[in-house]
Structure 1
């Protein structure tokens, strides 16, 4: 049985006050396999029975991004989406037609990051990779 993260500990480690809204937002993000928009997070929080408002979701996401707990990416549809980075970063490929996003379980940039770091003497602390294309369902439509 997979052990769920201790949300109280996660918030304490990043120096954040422990609130019900913050815990439920972390829980929603932790359960998602894909990055979510603030609106999607808000709707999932509401569906869980928790009480919060959209402005609290935005403030919490901003705080958690600044503390390094979330990664924010702006997708091809112009909407920002967020993903929790408890166990390292993740990459996704997103359909440019329906905006479906699928996680990629490998990091194709690890070797490049190491080589660039060695050649430039930089201590590289992260990277972003966004892949776009047409999913199989949208390809069939065309």
Structure 2
């Protein structure tokens, strides 16, 4: 994963200020085990004593996404969640009941991607995989 200092410097390299709230959002996303919504980030910033309103969080997340520092995924509940980007890419299992997300630590798309390239001569520059279902905890309660 790209080091925190590299992420923070990405702001200044592109002519943007490296504000306290941006540093705090980067830190939260790096520590998060699952992608976070803007509301979750806002509440965690508030708990940490970082002064930022919800619209500031949204603007900073949009900026981070445009700079390639954060990735955005819109869930089937309509909520956008964000995660820090790093080297490589991530795939997720997503529970349709509790919306828990589990990162898949390998790429199940590699062989499919190779087959698609071989058959279509398409220059694939990336992909994203989200598998939806019901997690073991939610299955127990059904």
With the length of structure 1 as denominator, give the TM-score of the two structures. 0.87
Gaps of 5+ in 2: none
Segments ≥4 residues shifted beyond 6 Å: none
Does residue 110 in structure 1 map to residue 110 in structure 2?
yes
Correspondence 1:1-142 to 2 at 5 A: 5-6=4-5, 7-13=7-13, 15-142=15-142
Q: Which moved more, 1:120-129 or 1:23-32?
A: 120-129
C-alpha deviation, 1:15, in angstroms:
4.9
Aligned residues: 140
In the alignment, the residues of structure 1 paired with residue 139 and residue 48 of structure 2 have an alpha-carbon distance, to the nearest angstrom, of: 35
Can you list the C-alpha shifts for 1:44-96, whole angstroms capped at 9, x where unaligned?
11122211110011011111112222211111211111111122221111111
C-alpha deviation, 1:108, in angstroms:
0.9
Q: Secondary structure at the match of 1:83?
A: strand
Q: Which moved more, 1:69-78 or 1:31-40?
A: 69-78
| Residues 121/29 of structure 1: CA separation in 2 closer, same or farther (3 Å cut) | same
Q: Which moved more, 1:72-81 or 1:109-118?
A: 109-118
In the alignment, the residues of structure 1 paired with residue 25 and residue 37 of structure 2 have an alpha-carbon distance, to the nearest angstrom, of: 12
Cα RMSD between the aligned structures? 2.0
Note if contact 2:4-2:26 (Cα within 8 Å) is conserved in structure 1: no
Gaps of 5+ in 1: none
| Residues 20/116 of structure 1: CA separation in 2 closer, same or farther (3 Å cut) | same
